[in-house]
Amino acid sequence: MATLPVIRHCGSSFLSGGWTETKFLQVQRPCVWRSARPANCIRAQGFPAHSRSHAGAAATILREAVSDTVVKPIIPKPVRELTDFQGQLVLMRHGESMWNDLKLFTGDVDIPLTEKGIMEALGGGKAVSEIDFDIIFTSRLGRAKQTALIAMTQNKFKRVPVLVRGGFYGKGQTGDANRLRLREAAANALEHASCKMVPMYADPALNERCYGDLQGLSKAAAIKEFGEETVRKWRRSHDTRPPNGESLQDTFVRSVHFFQKTIEPRLKEGRNVLVVAHGNVLRCIISYLSGLSDEEMLRLQVVTALPYSYTYDGTTFAECCVMPPVDYETNSVKKGTPLGISSVLKKGEIDSLI
């Protein structure tokens, strides 16, 4: 049993007010990849409704993504026995995309993985292959779905992932008849298939930050079109929006709210949850879990297909088992890749456009 110091903190300065308290958390599940080390933990907290009244387009997306349940969510009864307040959370960015490779601003344009990205997804999946996932959440973008599906091919529990159309809350229950049929087929497979299954839900709240008019441009092209000083301002700000785009603050609103409303309750049930999303979305969720400041969030660089793992006891999240990335071809641990949240906070590099 690992003993970790727990810092209960109200979160980053996106949230008003705060208090800090230190205690010790007993982590029931020992770290199997490396020895546990002291890690910050964050108390699950309410999200002030008034704190993002100015979020604009992002607020609309948020309301649509986390509105009241339309139909009963499809959650199969797990094969294994659940232990209350012992859920494990794994966060993973998608593998390298074709626009990542070309160093273009991607945002919420639906760009697929490169061959390297596919290999990264296989390596990330191998790193978390000994976790029996009960539920998977991704964005609606193909590169996140690809990464999750590819990663699950490495899982030793041989659970077969199935995409449940309409998302967790059953959106899209009207209109396209085939969409309804596919949702029904997924529900039947989760209940009756002669193998272990795991549902995968795609939600727009986990989509990458929209870069608006920057999307598809290189950094050089963006500077040429908008000016170096303007682009520098966008890069160093958490609350400034590019033309027709979102700020990092907007992304924080929708992604963290969805995490609190939809993902956290699954962890409270004792389920193991895999979340595959994007650099900015995971920046926001990690900042919420780790209590990072605005500046620290801007410094946080989330590595492609590298798993970040937490345990949850119903009150606190503990970063206690950060898995080393695995080279899929050699089946050996990759060297030189940063492990843990603190190791990817790059000093002197503030950039909200990643």
Query: Which residues form the catalytic set?
Result: 94, 208
232 in a labelled binding site: no
211 in a labelled binding site: yes
What would the DSSP string read from start to end of 19-67?
-EEEEEEEESS--SSS------EEE-----GGGGTT-THHHHHHHHHSS
Chain centroid to Cα 223, Å, comes to 30
236 in a labelled binding site: yes
98 in a labelled binding site: yes
312 in a labelled binding site: no
143 in a labelled binding site: yes
SS3 of the chain: helix, strand, coil, percent, to 5: 35, 20, 50
314 in a labelled binding site: no
Token digits for 317?
Answer: 């999240």
212 in a labelled binding site: no
CA separation for the pair 97, 141 (Å, rounded): 11
Pseudo-torsion of CA 42, 43, 49, 53, nearest 10°?
-10
235 in a labelled binding site: yes
Give, for 282, the enclosing helix (H) or strand (E): helix 279-290
The DSSP symbol for 218 reads: B
219 in a labelled binding site: yes
E-strand stretches of the chain: 2-9, 20-27, 41-43, 87-93, 135-138, 160-163, 197-202, 273-277, 308-312, 316-318, 326-327, 332-333
93 in a labelled binding site: yes
166 in a labelled binding site: no
46 in a labelled binding site: no
Structural contact between residues 198 and 135, judged by C-beta atoms closer than 8 angstroms: yes
107 in a labelled binding site: yes
CA separation for the pair 316, 314 (Å, rounded): 6
Structural contact between residues 291 and 9, judged by C-beta atoms closer than 8 angstroms: yes
CA separation for the pair 298, 237 (Å, rounded): 8
347 in a labelled binding site: no
Spell out the residues 6+ positions from residue 209 whose beta carbon is closer than 8 angstroms to its own.
Answer: 107, 108, 245, 246, 248, 250, 251, 278, 280, 281
Binding-site residue ranges: 93-100, 106-107, 143, 208-211, 219, 235-236, 279-280
Binding-site residue ranges for substrate: 93-100, 106-107, 143, 208-211, 219, 235-236, 279-280
